[in-house]
Chain A
């Protein structure tokens, strides 16, 4: 008798769990507004990436074409696979007569970058950030090597103090 009761209990609990599963999928099909698929090329104008998306390393410049990179190479050291190369220059400070390090080119190899985000916290002056761009395809590999500081840009005053 106990075996029969257990059998019936098993069947009922089995049916219950099956209905639970069907409830979940039933909820999905009855709520088409919750569909997460996006129609990518069509919605390109309205596409909003999530805040934490890491697309590429960029260096923001302000309206005077000035950036915050001092050329300290902290990001280059932090990078695990050598995607960042900093080419430095020395300019003469006329007042003190001393030579001072400055940045000539901040070279960023997008083809090697794994978007690990280690360079961003390493930067003491917050000169580089992770951008949201993701359409990186180009016809030539050499185009993936980018120079982040714009031509003619210079260090913003007051960053080094």
Chain B
């Protein structure tokens, strides 16, 4: 295959080899962990800045506005200025807040995003944790974030925060089901929970094309439920500016507020990345069965760009959702999940199992 020249495992293996020559095995492991941690920290910062800028621009263009234009070329330095402002702000705390939990909550949310992003396959050989239960791991770890939201709401000692946190809890408990089941629909096709194998199984074509109707339904359900998982509009009841001022992060300011903000955008990236991996083939280039010439041209584009492109596409769709639809009420939210998404998902999984059993996919 052509794209094997972009294999990152050559690079990582050489780093590992040179480190092993210098120090003992334990020291090598610790050094590598620190390197990976620093890379992810940088990635978080870059993602936060880039996605906030993208969000503001996309939102503006959806509303026939221009968005930030003043700081830097087309407002590109606007998010940097905002980040500096947040860093310099005073971290306020209410007098009657539970101080320990109040300070702990933002870290729980960030840690949950950290753990989830570890399993994301960025490119060939560029994946931190390739667990044999990768899909299960991501769904399990990403729901730790709701604990952070609940703690933040509870520790703030504020009615609005608590209502927001409780809504968020109800929402994530419900929508976790749909995310899990729609991912399972693809797992039926691949027969594996390991991300590297799932990507490898899409060498001939992405599952959204090969699995046709049931895969497409699962994809749509995943997008809706994934948007709900990240607490983004139209499912942003946990924040609901017009009702709860800012929901669970009403009382937060400065860097702790920035953590919540960052976690929201990183979670959006993770949900899109997992969606891209499961349905759109991850870093695998676009291949169509017998068109060898076409496939070879596609192979020249490095896998990391395929991955980022697909993820950006899904992020754009989630932004499209956010800036088109009005916010749901809590009862509408739960009706959508329990009366519509879940039954459709269950039937869809049955259909997919039947399709796989009969071999009716490409």
Contact = CB atoms under 8 A, between A and B. Distances in A.
A11 interface: yes
B344 to A, nearest CB: 7
Contacts of A14: 340
Contacts of A29: 58, 61-62, 320
B320 A35 contact: no
Interface string A62-95: 0000000000000000000000000000000000
A36 B320 contact: no
A26 interface: yes
Interface in A36-68: 36-37, 39
Interface stretch (A17-25, A99-107, A114-122, A145-153): A17-25
A32 interface: yes
A135 interface: no
A130 to B, nearest CB: 28
A34 interface: yes
A32 B344 contact: no
Nearest to B67: A37
Interface in A109-139: none
Given A11-B340, A11-B344, A18-B325, A26 B320 contact: yes
B324 A24 contact: yes
B64 A34 contact: yes
* Most chain B CB atoms below 10 A, which of A26, A29, A36: A29
B340 A28 contact: no
Interface in A1-28: 11, 14, 18, 21-22, 24-26, 28
B164 to A, nearest CB: 25
Contact of B64 (A21, A22, A35, A39): A35
Contacts of A34: 64
B104 interface: no
B324 A22 contact: yes
Nearest to B340: A11
Interface residues of A, number: 16
B58 A37 contact: no
* Most chain B CB atoms below 10 A, which of A22, A25, A34, A39: A25
B321 to A, nearest CB: 8
B137 interface: no
A35 B66 contact: yes
Interface string B299-334: 000000000000000000000110111000000000
A75 to B, nearest CB: 39
B65 A35 contact: yes
Given A24-B324, A25-B320, A25-B323, A35 B344 contact: no
A25 B69 CA distance: 21
B68 to A, nearest CB: 11
A21 B62 contact: no
Interface string B324-362: 110000000000000010001000000000000000000
Nearest to B336: A14
B344 A25 contact: no
A21 B324 CA distance: 6
B42 interface: no
A36 B61 CA distance: 10
A35 B325 contact: no
B61 A37 contact: no
A18 B321 CA distance: 9
Contact of A28 (B61, B66, B321, B325): B61
Contact of A25 (B62, B65, B66, B340): B62
A14 B323 CA distance: 18
Nearest to A24: B324
B63 interface: yes
A36 B64 contact: yes
A31 B325 CA distance: 20
Nearest to B316: A29
Contacts of B65: 35-37
A28 B320 contact: no
B76 to A, nearest CB: 16
A21 B325 CA distance: 7
Contacts of B324: 21-22, 24-25
Nearest to A26: B320
21 contacts: A11-B340, A11-B344, A14-B340, A18-B325, A21-B324, A22-B321, A24-B324, A25-B62, A25-B320, A25-B324, A28-B62, A28-B63, A29-B58, A32-B61, A34-B64, A35-B64, A36-B65, A37-B60, A37-B64, A37-B66, A39-B66
Given A11-B344, A35-B61, 15 more contacts: A11-B340, A21-B324, A21-B325, A22-B321, A24-B324, A25-B323, A26-B320, A28-B61, A28-B63, A28-B64, A29-B61, A29-B320, A35-B64, A35-B65, A37-B65
Task: Give me the 8 closest cross-chain CB pairs, A-B, nearest first.
Answer: A37-B66, A25-B324, A25-B62, A29-B61, A37-B65, A21-B324, A35-B64, A22-B324
